[in-house]
Protein backbone atom coordinates (compact mmCIF):
# COMPACT_ATOMS: atom_id res chain seq x y z
CA UNK A 1 0.00 0.00 0.00
CA UNK A 2 1.27 3.45 -0.87
CA UNK A 3 2.07 5.55 2.18
CA UNK A 4 1.17 9.22 2.51
CA UNK A 5 3.36 11.17 4.92
CA UNK A 6 2.77 14.85 5.69
CA UNK A 7 0.51 15.05 2.66
CA UNK A 8 3.19 13.71 0.32
CA UNK A 9 3.12 10.56 -1.78
CA UNK A 10 6.22 9.10 -3.39
CA UNK A 11 5.85 8.74 -7.13
CA UNK A 12 7.01 5.83 -9.21
CA UNK A 13 10.14 7.87 -9.92
CA UNK A 14 10.87 8.06 -6.19
CA UNK A 15 10.07 11.78 -5.93
CA UNK A 16 7.59 13.13 -3.36
CA UNK A 17 4.47 14.88 -4.65
CA UNK A 18 1.22 16.26 -3.24
CA UNK A 19 -0.72 13.18 -2.23
CA UNK A 20 -3.80 13.75 -4.37
CA UNK A 21 -2.34 12.47 -7.65
CA UNK A 22 -2.56 8.94 -6.25
CA UNK A 23 0.21 7.80 -8.62
CA UNK A 24 -2.34 7.63 -11.44
CA UNK A 25 -0.42 8.45 -14.64
CA UNK A 26 -2.83 11.05 -16.02
CA UNK A 27 -3.31 12.70 -12.63
CA UNK A 28 0.43 12.76 -11.94
CA UNK A 29 1.03 14.37 -15.35
CA UNK A 30 -1.60 17.01 -14.55
CA UNK A 31 0.01 17.63 -11.15
CA UNK A 32 3.48 18.01 -12.65
CA UNK A 33 2.76 19.96 -15.82
CA UNK A 34 -0.37 22.04 -15.22
CA UNK A 35 -1.54 22.49 -11.65
CA UNK A 36 -0.27 25.70 -10.10
CA UNK A 37 1.57 26.94 -13.18
CA UNK A 38 0.54 30.51 -14.05
CA UNK A 39 -1.88 30.95 -16.95
CA UNK A 40 -2.63 34.16 -18.85
CA UNK A 41 -4.56 32.68 -21.77
CA UNK A 42 -8.21 33.80 -21.65
CA UNK A 43 -9.57 30.65 -23.24
CA UNK A 44 -7.81 28.42 -20.73
CA UNK A 45 -8.96 30.59 -17.83
CA UNK A 46 -12.54 30.44 -19.04
CA UNK A 47 -12.32 26.69 -19.57
CA UNK A 48 -10.98 26.10 -16.10
CA UNK A 49 -13.50 28.18 -14.20
CA UNK A 50 -16.32 26.47 -16.12
CA UNK A 51 -14.91 23.00 -15.51
CA UNK A 52 -14.48 23.78 -11.82
CA UNK A 53 -18.20 24.54 -11.83
CA UNK A 54 -18.90 21.17 -13.48
CA UNK A 55 -16.73 19.52 -10.83
CA UNK A 56 -19.03 20.65 -8.01
CA UNK A 57 -20.12 17.47 -6.24
CA UNK A 58 -17.66 15.36 -8.25
CA UNK A 59 -13.90 14.76 -8.30
CA UNK A 60 -11.53 16.73 -10.50
CA UNK A 61 -10.21 13.44 -11.87
CA UNK A 62 -13.67 12.71 -13.28
CA UNK A 63 -13.66 16.07 -15.06
CA UNK A 64 -10.03 15.75 -16.18
CA UNK A 65 -10.76 12.44 -17.87
CA UNK A 66 -13.70 14.01 -19.69
CA UNK A 67 -11.90 17.26 -20.52
CA UNK A 68 -11.34 16.51 -24.20
CA UNK A 69 -15.04 15.67 -24.51
CA UNK A 70 -15.93 18.96 -22.82
CA UNK A 71 -13.64 20.81 -25.22
CA UNK A 72 -15.32 19.21 -28.21
CA UNK A 73 -18.78 19.91 -26.82
CA UNK A 74 -18.10 23.55 -25.87
CA UNK A 75 -16.21 24.80 -28.94
CA UNK A 76 -12.85 24.48 -27.14
CA UNK A 77 -14.26 26.99 -24.62
CA UNK A 78 -14.12 29.86 -27.08
CA UNK A 79 -16.44 32.08 -25.06
CA UNK A 80 -17.43 34.14 -28.10
CA UNK A 81 -18.88 30.96 -29.62
CA UNK A 82 -20.29 29.51 -26.41
CA UNK A 83 -22.19 32.73 -25.67
CA UNK A 84 -24.17 32.10 -28.88
CA UNK A 85 -25.29 28.59 -27.86
CA UNK A 86 -29.08 28.22 -27.99
CA UNK A 87 -31.75 25.74 -26.93
CA UNK A 88 -30.67 23.36 -29.69
CA UNK A 89 -27.13 23.37 -28.30
CA UNK A 90 -28.43 22.75 -24.78
CA UNK A 91 -30.38 19.73 -26.04
CA UNK A 92 -27.26 18.50 -27.84
CA UNK A 93 -25.18 18.84 -24.68
CA UNK A 94 -27.78 17.11 -22.51
CA UNK A 95 -27.58 14.11 -24.84
CA UNK A 96 -23.76 14.00 -24.85
CA UNK A 97 -22.69 11.07 -22.66
CA UNK A 98 -19.08 12.24 -22.83
CA UNK A 99 -19.65 15.19 -20.51
CA UNK A 100 -21.49 15.83 -17.23
CA UNK A 101 -25.10 16.23 -18.34
CA UNK A 102 -26.31 18.73 -15.76
CA UNK A 103 -28.67 21.32 -17.22
CA UNK A 104 -27.89 23.95 -14.61
CA UNK A 105 -24.15 23.69 -15.21
CA UNK A 106 -24.56 23.71 -18.98
CA UNK A 107 -26.76 26.81 -18.86
CA UNK A 108 -24.30 28.37 -16.42
CA UNK A 109 -21.42 27.88 -18.88
CA UNK A 110 -23.37 29.63 -21.64
CA UNK A 111 -24.27 32.46 -19.27
CA UNK A 112 -20.69 32.77 -18.07
CA UNK A 113 -19.47 32.99 -21.67
CA UNK A 114 -21.55 36.12 -22.13
CA UNK A 115 -20.23 37.50 -18.84
CA UNK A 116 -16.68 36.70 -20.02
CA UNK A 117 -17.19 38.85 -23.11
CA UNK A 118 -18.32 41.71 -20.89
CA UNK A 119 -15.30 41.22 -18.65
CA UNK A 120 -12.91 41.11 -21.61
CA UNK A 121 -14.41 44.32 -22.95
CA UNK A 122 -14.11 46.04 -19.56
CA UNK A 123 -10.64 44.89 -18.51
CA UNK A 124 -8.99 44.09 -21.83
CA UNK A 125 -8.74 40.41 -20.97
CA UNK A 126 -9.99 37.85 -18.49
CA UNK A 127 -6.39 37.40 -17.44
CA UNK A 128 -6.06 41.04 -16.40
CA UNK A 129 -9.17 40.74 -14.24
CA UNK A 130 -8.25 37.46 -12.55
CA UNK A 131 -4.60 38.31 -11.97
CA UNK A 132 -5.62 41.55 -10.29
CA UNK A 133 -6.95 39.23 -7.55
CA UNK A 134 -3.65 37.46 -6.95
CA UNK A 135 -3.12 37.40 -3.17
CA UNK A 136 -0.18 39.36 -1.81
CA UNK A 137 2.62 37.46 -0.11
CA UNK A 138 1.66 38.75 3.33
CA UNK A 139 -1.71 37.00 3.14
CA UNK A 140 -0.19 33.62 2.32
CA UNK A 141 0.92 30.98 4.84
CA UNK A 142 4.57 31.26 5.86
CA UNK A 143 4.83 27.49 5.43
CA UNK A 144 2.27 25.61 3.37
CA UNK A 145 2.00 22.20 4.95
CA UNK A 146 -0.71 19.60 4.46
CA UNK A 147 -2.70 20.58 7.54
CA UNK A 148 -2.82 24.23 6.47
CA UNK A 149 -3.94 23.34 2.96
CA UNK A 150 -6.72 21.00 4.11
CA UNK A 151 -7.95 23.51 6.70
CA UNK A 152 -8.35 26.26 4.10
CA UNK A 153 -10.60 25.21 1.18
CA UNK A 154 -11.40 28.90 0.76
CA UNK A 155 -9.55 32.12 1.51
CA UNK A 156 -10.57 35.72 2.05
CA UNK A 157 -9.37 36.42 -1.49
CA UNK A 158 -11.45 33.64 -3.02
CA UNK A 159 -14.48 34.87 -1.08
CA UNK A 160 -14.02 38.40 -2.43
CA UNK A 161 -13.45 37.16 -5.97
CA UNK A 162 -16.48 34.88 -5.78
CA UNK A 163 -18.63 37.76 -4.54
CA UNK A 164 -17.45 40.04 -7.32
CA UNK A 165 -18.03 37.41 -10.01
CA UNK A 166 -21.55 36.80 -8.75
CA UNK A 167 -22.18 40.54 -8.74
CA UNK A 168 -21.17 40.53 -12.41
CA UNK A 169 -23.68 37.78 -13.16
CA UNK A 170 -21.41 34.72 -13.17
CA UNK A 171 -22.88 31.49 -11.76
CA UNK A 172 -21.43 28.32 -10.18
CA UNK A 173 -18.56 30.42 -8.81
CA UNK A 174 -18.72 29.85 -5.06
CA UNK A 175 -15.63 30.54 -2.89
CA UNK A 176 -14.46 26.91 -2.89
CA UNK A 177 -14.81 26.63 -6.67
CA UNK A 178 -12.99 29.93 -7.13
CA UNK A 179 -10.15 28.89 -4.84
CA UNK A 180 -9.69 25.62 -6.74
CA UNK A 181 -9.50 27.73 -9.90
CA UNK A 182 -6.88 30.01 -8.31
CA UNK A 183 -4.81 27.00 -7.24
CA UNK A 184 -4.93 25.41 -10.68
CA UNK A 185 -4.22 28.57 -12.69
CA UNK A 186 -1.22 29.59 -10.62
CA UNK A 187 -2.61 32.59 -8.75
CA UNK A 188 -1.30 30.75 -5.71
CA UNK A 189 1.26 27.99 -5.34
CA UNK A 190 -0.39 25.32 -3.22
CA UNK A 191 2.07 22.53 -3.89
CA UNK A 192 2.86 21.71 -0.29
CA UNK A 193 6.30 21.90 1.28
CA UNK A 194 8.36 18.93 0.23
CA UNK A 195 6.56 18.40 -3.09
CA UNK A 196 9.12 18.05 -5.86
CA UNK A 197 7.19 20.52 -8.00
CA UNK A 198 6.81 23.33 -5.47
CA UNK A 199 10.10 25.13 -6.19
CA UNK A 200 9.73 24.64 -9.95
CA UNK A 201 6.28 26.22 -9.89
CA UNK A 202 7.53 29.04 -7.68
CA UNK A 203 10.31 29.81 -10.17
CA UNK A 204 7.77 29.84 -12.98
CA UNK A 205 5.54 32.20 -11.03
CA UNK A 206 8.51 34.50 -10.34
CA UNK A 207 9.31 34.72 -14.05
CA UNK A 208 5.68 35.16 -15.08
CA UNK A 209 4.63 38.54 -16.46
CA UNK A 210 1.36 39.51 -14.80
CA UNK A 211 -1.21 40.78 -17.31
CA UNK A 212 -2.57 44.27 -16.72
CA UNK A 213 -5.45 46.29 -18.09
- 30 is an active site residue: yes
Distances, alpha carbon 85 to alpha carbons 81, 98, 116, 136, in Å = 7, 18, 14, 38
Contact 82, 71 (CB under 8 A): no
Strand order in the sheet with 8-10: 4-5, 8-10, 16-18
Is 129 designated active site?
no
Strand residues in the chain grouped as ranges (E): 4-5, 8-10, 16-18
Choice among 27, 35, 47, 60 that is catalytic: 60
Q: Could you confirm whether 52 is annotated as catalytic?
A: yes
Total count of residues recorded for the chain: 213
Instruction: Phi first, then psi: give them for residue 196, nearest 5 degrees.
Output: -65, -15
| CA distances from residue 82 to 20, 102, 115, 176, 194 in whole angstroms, order as listed | 32, 16, 11, 24, 41
Residues 6+ apart with CB under 8 A from 199: none
Active-site hit among 10, 20, 30, 193 = 30
Phi, psi at residue 195, to the nearest 5°? Answer: -70, 135
Active-site residue, from 35, 47, 52, 170: 52
Positions marked active-site: 30, 52, 60
Amino acid sequence: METVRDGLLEGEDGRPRCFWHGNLPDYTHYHDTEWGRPVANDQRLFEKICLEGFQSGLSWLTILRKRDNFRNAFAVFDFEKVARFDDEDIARLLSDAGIVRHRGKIVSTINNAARAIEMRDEFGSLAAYFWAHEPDAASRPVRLDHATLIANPTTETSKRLSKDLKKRGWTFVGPTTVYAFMQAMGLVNDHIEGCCMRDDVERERAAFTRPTT
